[in-house]
Structure 1
């Protein structure tokens, strides 16, 4: 069984495997996030590190229709080490022992068993780590909308330490994914790093014990996902706990600027010769290319984002002076994106121009209701686009996050 996720979703795939009581492994690959938007060469280099930290492929191992284990990407064993930190396990395997794991179907799974066999961890701790890794992997998979998959019948991972019911897991995690979406745009990705933004207000408003905890964890080096592992909590619980502080602006969530998760916040600066940065959120590549061809010769920096689900995260990093946003897009339409952005104080004054192929009165009214500044009907001329941009763009309205 194989195909694309735009033909069948992850939830349905898992249900088929469960109903058929299949044994084997499912491989899922996400479409490369680098191709979903166009950045300048300088910004591409900076943003690449933020997306590389998230695995682009996953393996799910099954036994008789139940999940035995999940592995994310080409594992570096760092996920397991994060859980070992929670259990205060300091002993690790030596280099020679680690080398023997590379030839196995799942180095992560083999690593857990090696730790277990050498009495470095107990069976209970091993099961808890497996449950945590399965949960976080399925959270990513059930949030995925574009990609491809292959399911191969075959022998199960051996030996088995535990197995998990698919229906129960999918029901629980699907609900969490839905709740996670309600945290947009303040929290967008488990890979974001909390950083203290206003220590004075934190100190004035919160008990000393909470401030101390936030100072300890919000170091700009620890992602939300790592924090969830350290605390042995699911990612939604962690996100909800910090959400009020992010919403108030006391905590800031950023992406790592280096592969080693440094505490430097990526800076998206304007080149001196540019009049301003304009982001175009549009799933039609031809429209994106048209916008770029019109704006760039006039001295504007034009950046295209063709996947609406990734738009919110990128817009917060790019800090545009003006946003062009298509209305009719799959998965997340322009009205929803505009409404989410307007809920953030950082985007309350940034002009948002809706791109639409319709001239209906209702569309214009709805655009205004969600906070759109203006609209532009497709197809549009060079003059029409430039007049609107020059009417609203203002360097003083750049996002200050």
Structure 2
């Protein structure tokens, strides 16, 4: 069984495996535009979309284990921190483990066999890893998959019924979407951006906890592992602080957070916040993948009506706006924003598939700053953004 996620979704694939009581492994690959972006990273690869893959192992229609395609054992290490397990395998012991595609699972069993962890802890770690992997998979809308029927992953510590997991996580994925655009990915890093207001609004204990975890070095996903909580619970806990602007979420551990002084001045600010308004999800993802590695905070909005209210909260330094959109044309969005004092001087660049003189004139008449024709290259977008961001 193999195919494309445009033709059949992950939920249906899992249901088929469960109904058929199949044993084997499912491999899924998808392109991500927002995971693990490094600000100021390698220039040779900064514009590349990241390919991600996952493996899900089954026994008689039940899940045994889930693993990311590129395993570095860091996921298990994060969970061991929660259980305060200090002992680890040495590099020599790790090197002596059998070389397999399931290095995480092999490592986990090695810890179990050496009595470094007990079966209860191992089972809890496996449950957490299955949960977070299914959360990512059930969030996918594009990608490819192959199910290979064969021998089961062995040995097995426990198995999980697919239906129960899918029902619970599907609901969580829907709730997660409500946090957008304030929280976009489990791979974002929370950092304190307004400690002064935090201290005046929250208890000292709460501020200390936030200061401990929101260090710019711990992603939301890592935080969930450290606390042994699912990602939705963590997102719900920090969402009010992100909404208030007390916490900021960035995509890189190398990004310096905005800090606010008592006088209200921001220090260590990113290169600029850029909002794109385009009903095509792929365009927003492409723009984010180009701008975020260059140090810009990029936020993609797909509903022009909702975008009109959200941009006042987001206060972008530059707006990219598609012209041809349902419900509201880009010309109308631009004209409405220009009627507000807050957006009278903000650069607004119109995006369109057309390259006609009349469209340029219309864009100019409604107050657009510039015009970019789709499809555009990485260089074209960056040059235009840098031109207007640097001139502010």
TM-score normalised according to structure 1 size? 0.74
Q: Verify: 1:129 aligned to 2:125, yes or no.
A: yes
Question: 2 CA distance for matches of 1:2 and 1:188?
Answer: 29
Q: How does 1:169-248 map to 2 (within 5 A)?
A: 169-248=165-244
* Alignment of structure 1 residues 251-330 onto 2, 5 Å: 251-256=247-252, 261-262=253-254, 264=256, 269=271, 281=278, 283=280, 306-308=282-284, 318=296
Q: Identify the residue that residue 345 of structure 1 maps to in structure 2.
A: 314
Q: For residues 11 and 156 of structure 1, what CA distance do their matches in structure 2 show?
A: 21
Task: Name 2:304's counterpart in structure 1.
Answer: 335
Cα offsets for 1:220-267 (capped at 9, x unmatched) = 1000000000000000100110000000000000011xxxx3354697
Deviation at 1:335, TM superposition (A): 3.3
Q: Distance in 2 between matches of 1:59 and 1:164?
A: 15
Q: 1:353–1:372: 8 Å Cα contact kept in structure 2?
A: no
- C-alpha displacement of 1:334: 4.0
Structure 2 match to 1:328: none
Query: Which residue number corresponds to residue 392 of structure 1?
Result: 368
Question: Counterpart of 2:181 in 1: which secondary structure?
Answer: coil
The number of aligned residues is: 348
CA contact (8 A) 1:185 1:313 kept: no
- In the alignment, structure 1 segments of 5+ residues that lack a partner are 35-40, 271-275, 284-304, 326-331
Which residue matches 1:60? 56
Residue in 2 aligned with 1:138? 134
Structure 2 residue matching 1:190: 3-state secondary structure: coil
Contact 1:66 1:163 in 2 (8 A): yes
| Conserved? CA contact 2:2–2:146, under 8 Å | yes
Structure 1 residues 386 and 23: CA distance shift in structure 2, 3 A:
farther
TM-superposed deviation, 1:7: 1.1
- Alpha-carbon contact 2:4-2:143 (below 8 Å) kept: yes
Change (3 A) 1:11 1:243: same
- Aligned partners of 2:353, 2:106: CA distance in 1, in Å? 56
**What's the offset of the Cα at 1:389?**
5.6
CA–CA distance in 2 between the matches of 1:165 and 1:218? 35
Kept in 2: contact 1:281–1:306 (CA 8 A): no
Contact kept? 2:66, 2:129, Cα under 8 Å:
yes
Deviations 1:154-187 (A, max 9, x none): 1111111000010110110011011000000000
Flag the 1:176–1:2 CA change in 2: closer, same or farther, 3 A: same
Partner of 1:98: 94
Following TM superposition, by how much is the alpha carbon of 1:43 offset from its aligned partner in structure 2, in angstroms? 8.2
Aligned pair in 2 of structure 1 residues 99, 6: CA closer, same or farther (>3 Å)? Answer: same
1:12 corresponding residue in structure 2: 12
State the SS of the aligned residue for 1:62: strand
Residues 13/381 of structure 1: CA separation in 2 closer, same or farther (3 Å cut): same
Paired with 2:180 and 2:329, the residues of 1 have a C-alpha distance of 24
> 1:356 maps to what in 2?
324
Query: How far, CA to CA, are the matches of 1:340 and 1:107 in structure 2?
Result: 47
Shift of 1:94: 1.5
Structure 1 position 382, deviation (Å): 4.3
* 8 A contact 2:31–2:49 mirrored in 1: no
Instruction: Report if aligned partners of 2:134, 2:169 keep a CA contact under 8 Å in 1.
Output: yes
Determine helix, strand or coil for the equivalent of 1:392.
coil
Offset at 1:388? 2.1
Equivalents in 2 of 1:71, 1:108: separation in Å? Answer: 7
Higher helix share: 1
Shift of 1:377: 8.0
CA contact (8 A) 1:196 1:252 kept: yes
Supply the distance in 1 between the matched residues of 2:95 and 2:103 (Cα, whole angstroms).
10
Distance 1:354 1:367, change over 3 A: farther
CA distance in 2 between counterparts of 1:282 and 1:224 reads: 27
Q: CA RMSD in A?
A: 4.0
